[in-house]
Structure 1
């Protein structure tokens, strides 16, 4: 049973000795039921948020997030055009813990916000570029994961091959993915600092501006495309194009010409991952959903087999279905594997 916001306030008081809590309210947006959360008002006028994991995966994710937040020092944060949660304290709760962060005002974005009609897309693109521009020493000095391009290519290939070996992936897709992994030019990129677990809900919006970014458990050196794959499900192709364009303009270096192709590949492989999750958990409902999405995806890419994941490939629509499924069914997260490789982990 979910903890009440009054119970959470008591835990926060234990985590922050001396804090004078004067009001509390529940909050659930962006947590997808994986955390019990509440916002607390302090007599100083500040607000904090307390979160308690509701399962082991969320607890592991929270631990990784705390390590990443420590790596994002005040100097690093000053380089970002948005706020990152600050750690305020913690208190034990049975086998897990309540963690208190400063509260960042804003509303989690959604895929529907990524359109050509507003400035949201541009702000999101610039925010992602700011992360990718951070020096890699942010990650290396914290002892976090550092991946090479060849490691990420091998991991992505292995995922595709594992899915194909089930016999449930249409041959058209198996061929498409194999050609992509054989294309050495696709994997000639410079790894950068990545958030590793971005989704639309990661971005807190105040109006059309990104006020904060939540969820840093996947902080690592990895493929920049891992932070952009979700754009394959944007409300409109024009909205996704605006994000990519703003991202490329904000980079201090020339943009990776193959970035969009790898992002699209990662989006398609999310469905393969969903299939493997269903088989691993023996959930026939998930397996059936994944097979249906793979069949739809195969139909949409038939004309692209001779030019695998080329820049003129049509938008992949099936991934949006994956997002809806992930909202309904618990799945593995980056907390249980290499956090930098959410799209391409083994």
Structure 2
């Protein structure tokens, strides 16, 4: 049974000494989602958020988020053009950990909003600011360091596991293999990465990014990981404006950034397929397979979606079969 906002408010007072809550309301999903959440207002006018994980996996995420937020020192936060939550206290509850932090104002970003050039540019600058942070604070906090070979190995593992299901279209198999065999694609300088940027993690006020939440995947790694969701915007102009603003802010010389971001976006579908097979969910598997076939149609007709540096765009199924026949493969 879900805890009431008043119960969550009481938990908050045990997590933060001297907290005086005058109002509490449910925040986010009431019965679903990974967390029970309540928005709180204190007597001195502070707006806070309490979150209680609903499952062991959510508890792991919450713990990682807390470590990351504590690693964001005042000096590090001063380098960012937006706010990040500040943890105020935590308390054990039913085998989980309730965490209280400040509640950031702003609205989540929808991909369709990236069509707005001003907002796209603000997002690009916000992501660039994260990537410009010194990597030393991540290492000092004991967080993950992902080197280029590590990123490549992870991509290959996802690809091979998905291909092993026999459900990935042949054209995508060839496309992904060529990308993972292309050494030039994986020559990047690791940066600080947020690691979990989606519409729900970036908060905006009008056409400006005002806050970023969900820091549980903070690490040093491939900057393209923070761009793949954003470059999936339906507006090509918006995606271009975002990437242009990012490159201008970063002075980026990584010419393969966009290609790796596109590959990560495609492998997200492969991971959805693997999740479906693991859960034995026909619905999820069918959804993932449909998305993969739609992806084939998209990449075959869009030369801008090349994800390797050495080859032409993805081959059609007929072309793949012909190539395999010519090479004597079954």
TM exceeding 0.5: yes
Structure 2 counterpart SS, 1:92: strand
What is the match of residue 222 of structure 2? 223
Query: Structure 1: 5+ residue runs without aligned partners?
Result: 315-346
* 1:51-70 matched pairs, under 5 angstroms: 51-70=51-70
Alignment: residue pair count: 311
Instruction: Answer 1 or 2: higher relative contact order, Cα 8 Å, separation at least 6.
Output: 1
* 1:304–1:313 contact (8 Å) kept in structure 2: no
Displacement after TM superposition at 1:145 (Å): 0.7
* 1:124 and 2:123 matched: yes
Query: Equivalents in 2 of 1:218, 1:255: separation in Å?
Result: 25
Displacement after TM superposition at 1:255 (Å): 3.4
Displacement after TM superposition at 1:79 (Å): 0.6
What is the match of residue 83 of structure 1? 83
* 1:245 and 2:257 matched: no
Displacement after TM superposition at 1:218 (Å): 0.6
What is the match of residue 177 of structure 2? 178
TM normalised by structure 1 equals 0.85
* 2:89–2:100 contact (8 Å) kept in structure 1: yes
What is the match of residue 279 of structure 2? 281
Kindly provide the CA deviation profile for residues 187-241 of structure 1, in whole angstroms up to 9, marking residues without a partner as x.
0110110001111211111121111100011111100000000124313111111
Kindly provide the CA deviation profile for residues 117-170 of structure 1, in whole angstroms up to 9, marking residues without a partner as x.
352111111110000000110111111111110111121112111111211111
What is the match of residue 342 of structure 1? none
Structure 2 counterpart SS, 1:85: coil
Query: Structure 2: 5+ residue runs without aligned partners?
Result: 314-330
Query: Equivalents in 1 of 2:312, 2:121: separation in Å?
Result: 23
* 1:180–1:308 contact (8 Å) kept in structure 2: no
Structure 1 counterpart SS, 2:200: helix
Of the three residues 253, 256, 261, the one matched with 1:255 is 253
Cα–Cα, structure 1 residues 87 and 310, in superposed 2: closer, same or farther, change >3 Å?
A: same
Displacement after TM superposition at 1:301 (Å): 2.1
Larger Rg: 2
Over the residues paired in the alignment, what is the CA RMSD in angstroms?
A: 2.2
TM normalised by structure 2 equals 0.89
Displacement after TM superposition at 1:30 (Å): 12
